[in-house]
A and B are shown apart, each in its own frame.
Chain A
Amino acid sequence: MPPKKVLLAPLDPVHDIALKIINRGLRDAGYETVILPPDLPPEEIIQAIIDEGAETVLISRTLGYGVAEVLARFIDLTDAAGIRDRVRVAVGGMAVHPELAQELGFDAGFGPGSTVEETIAFVDGREYVKKFNFERKREDDLSAGYSYEVRHNRIRELLGRITPLILGWAEGLTSPGVQRAAVREELWDVKKWRDHEEPEEFFAEYPKYCEESVRNFYEKGLLHPKTRLFSQKDVEKLKAYVRRSRRDLQTPHLQHKLIKPVIFNQYGTGCPYMDIAHIKASEAYGADGVIHFDPSWGARTEGLYDGFLTHQEDGTVITPANLNRIYRALEYGTLWQVRAHRGLNSPETVVLAGKIGANLTKINICYGSLGAGTDPARLTVDAIAAIKYAVQYQMPFDVVTNEELCGVPAHKALAGMLIVAHLGAALGGRPILQPLFCFSPEVMIGGQMDDNYVDFNVAKIMALRAIMDAPIWPGAPIGFLTQTEDRVQSSASTAFHASLAAMLEVDAISIASADEAYSGGPITVASRIDTLRAVSEGFRFFGHSRMQVSAQATEWAEKMIEGLERVLQAVAARGDFVQALYDGLLGSREEGAYPGRAGVNTVVKK
């Protein structure tokens, strides 16, 4: 059968772009088309339809004034010419909508936002079925394809000395955190728990390793002061909300034509319901992954609570029910990271996240112990256990350098990150390097960002790539301390940093919301959407364009590597990684890093 012949005609003095796009789509789909120039009188268009023997006619009218009269007259003319019965006629334009088209006698009308596919469906004479993107997004292991080879000879040798030092030091040591993780691992079966089977043995054993406030919960039912339990009725309402949110949900590809970076949004409003609302909005606006942020007191508390809990301040409490409910609300393909990097529940959080179904976790020693308040010895013992569980549950984990925000210079923070990453890889893990893209105290004082926010961040990526073949996920969030409370400035800043990350072809980024710098209240969902939209626009603007790395960035990268090597040399020479943390080799008190106190003296021999 010969292809259907379609005639396209702008019934407009000037505008014909939309018709040209549709013409290309139709031709690609195998149709024979004839496209007429703008500004022809209707009579000429009618004659062309007759001469060409077109079966379908697509008229466009961009200008809004007089649209009804012009289009009605055109239909009258097709009647008068005796072709109306054998030709299907549709109209499209900014002032057109299906009801108007029908009223004027057209077979179809396409308004703003219509797609080429819709028009082709009309030409085919079939109903248009809107395509929803239910395909799995790139879920994937961000660490795939990386060898973790240390490319820099001297640094390879130093890391090769430090990793056995750490493992040797930790040999035979344990902590309440490690013990709780073992109880969770052995006595808490997620399948049985999901089948509402009470883990009695777990509840009998677990509180023994918790501090008093958490024991009071398990033994006396006392909740943390800022929390309350949801009711079953609440749960049913939440399920209905998630169903509604899913009904028409599309998950767009934010990166335009790029493959990387994967975009992560952090949630943690305190309330799992509100978190889910943030997650559903993030998914709808193209976030590829979400990160669970827990309250800071949770990191300083020995033990995890239980039950479906809401919390009145920042950070959503880690409990099996909270994580499970959030996990169940995620779209197929949304990556989910549960952070476990800074406190007293690190290994158990990894176990719980792994059992419930997280894709990724976050493990750290240097930031957690120098910038987040946990005792270095305790976090070292716990992090080793956490890494082993991450290996068991096949979760890659990022290693962040947030101690930079305390004032630790980048080269020291990167040295600490590489020590933990090398340790992680040696234990069979898949660490992801998470340098900060930030306006840190170091550069505020040193002036490295006086001219631009680009070169120093580029230097970090260059340095890391020169040292190790590992995935890179700048965070967290990108643009830290560059954003203000101004929605536009904040979104723009994030978008610029995201575009820089894309040009550097990093694997993933964590982005802020437009409320990043606002501390007066909770982040709103609208602010989150604004930033996702801005990032999307950045990717659209730059596409595959690439920047030229400046001589300054190259010079700073070289200096960073030199400084980093000196730090590793000092740690190796100390012969004791944990002592190096206490002694400030990876960030000193003068630089704003203080060895944490939470969990001090809790490391014991097995």
Chain B
Amino acid sequence: MIINAEIDKPIFQQIKEGIEDAILSGAFPEESQIPSITEISVNYKINPATALKGINLLVENNIVYKKRGVGMFVCEGAVNKLMENRKNDFYDKFVSSLVLEAKRLKISENDIKNMIERGFKDEH
């Protein structure tokens, strides 16, 4: 996870998404402990209040939960939940911008379909 104070996204949002990515990739499995606020703040040189703001978003969405006096843990079912959320965002985040850029470059719908097919083939 990379935190960058210069880019447009607020830091607490980057913290939230960075931990989500780590959960999705399996770096933080369900029911495992995630780093503490102090560890996150020190590691990324951010204000603990900012780290807490990011973590609280994850707590509100039932992605992580706090165990009093122990730390924070990934909720059971968090991976599925995150995948659902991301699938919902997929169109807005990727498809609309893809189409917009394609129109700018005058790439046809068929060309795009071909490229997508090629992308899937190259994966294997």
Bound pair (A, B): no
Which B residues lie at the A interface, using CB under 8 A?
A: none
Chain A residues close to B by CB (< 8 Å):
none
